[in-house]
Amino acid sequence: MAHFDFQELRENGDLNQKDFIFIRPTKGSLGPTEEISIELTILVSDKTIPSVCTGRSLDEIVVLEIRNGRHIFLSLQGSFQRTCFGMPLEYLASFGGQGVGNLDFDARTRSGGGMPDELWRMTDFITTYGTDVGTVFLERGDAEVCRRIRECLDTAAPFDNIGGDVGVLSMAETLVRFLDALPSGVIPNESYEKILRIGEAKISLVEVMPQSLSVCVEVKADCC
């Protein structure tokens, strides 16, 4: 009888293995001539996408221990298709609206800051074509149209053949998903309470949140 057990996944470092590597089963035993299937899954979720979308490799090593036997080192390799979803706003802005799928990570044109072109394009589309769509942000869009919008954002392609109420609803849903995937909000957590007190304390927005100022103000102006 052979007993096996995977070593516990690493929880330190820039990317927690337990957040994106899933092994089933993690331990077990086999008798002579027996077989077992082991499933290893790499899942890129909201916890891991901020790291991998900025260039971090998905290559990892997991260790399988055979009781009273050898250690087997399994190399996992994965490639992540670049997307603007989950990317920090200031980092995304540094690509200058050229499409993260079109550029190398070392091809950023500036240090960041301001409103990313991808965010501006979505809010501009909704305010331009969605004024007469009463269920915008209340009704879901079309999954295929949402997928096409994401591709346009990642490649800086125009929103061709995306129109009508379905196009507006799909754009609104994509905007919500984009904001939900951000590693931090448009208004940083550390500045939220200060923002609420601006009216009473007469604090300048520039003093409170200089990095996200233009994003916050422009999104608010576009969506009002």
Do residue 106 and residue 210 come from a single domain? yes
Q: Report whether pLDDT(9) > 80.
A: yes
CB atoms within 10 A of CB 60: 18
Do residue 105 and residue 137 come from a single domain? yes
pLDDT tens digits, one per residue of 192-210: 677 667 655 555 554 555 4
In a domain, 191, yes or no: yes
In a domain, 48, yes or no: yes
pTM: 0.71
Do residue 98 and residue 184 come from a single domain? yes
- pLDDT reported for residue 109: 53
Do residue 94 and residue 43 come from a single domain? no
Q: Report whether pLDDT(167) > 50.
A: yes
Q: At 56, is the pLDDT very low, low, confident or very high (cuts 50, 70, 90)?
A: confident
Domain that holds residue 50: 2-76
Q: C-alpha angle with apex 137: 187 to 182, nearest 5 degrees?
A: 35
Mean pLDDT of 5-17: 80
In a domain, 84, yes or no: no
pLDDT tens digits, one per residue of 128-153: 999 999 999 999 999 999 999 999 99
CATH code of the domain containing 169: 1.10.555.10
